[in-house]
Amino acid sequence: MTIEIREAQPSDAEDLAGLIELLGHQVDADGVGRRMQRLSSDDLPQLVATEGGRVIGLCGLHRMAAIHRERPVGRVTILVVAPQWRGRGVGRMLVETAEAQLADAGCGMIEVTSNDRLVEAHRFYESVGYAPTSRRFAKQLD
């Protein structure tokens, strides 16, 4: 097993759509590709894990300034690994790479959000050093 972490490419859009759907989001490859183009203007890549050229995991990154923080806050916006690859260190590799890139980008803290129903994901985040610190509230805008 040789897992590689690299920057997501537009040609990955179909594989990424399949991974994103695992989290319950309704997406298609065209939409993912369009969003990837918008994200490419940011200086932080969206990361993928590959094995034998196949995309098996995704980790989205974002950096934001906050008036109440001295340094930017990094955010893992999405983390998903194909079911057959879970429990084999792929998520940990993605998180470690994300942490290094966000630290290099000057972030002083990293946040992760996770849907309340994803209890296994919460256990994973705690196992790699993240602690619940607040609640997130959201409102859908039409």
Q: How far apart are CA 40 and CA 53, in angstroms?
A: 22
CA distance 2 to 13: 22
Distance between CA atoms of 60 and 78, rounded to whole angstroms?
Answer: 5
What mean pLDDT do residues 96-124 have? 92
On whether the 3-127 domain is CATH 1.10.10.10, my answer is: no
Residue of 94 and 133 predicted with greater confidence? 94
Q: What is the pLDDT of residue 136?
A: 84
pLDDT band at residue 39 using 50, 70 and 90 as cut-offs: confident
Q: What one-letter code names the amino acid at 111?
A: E
φ, ψ for residue 64, nearest 5 deg: -135, 150
Is the model's pLDDT at 109 over the cut of 90? yes
> Which residue type, as a one-letter code, is found at position 14?
E
Residue 46: predicted pLDDT: 93
What's the pLDDT score for residue 73?
96
Of the chain, the percentage scoring pLDDT greater than 70 comes to 98
pTM (two decimals) = 0.90
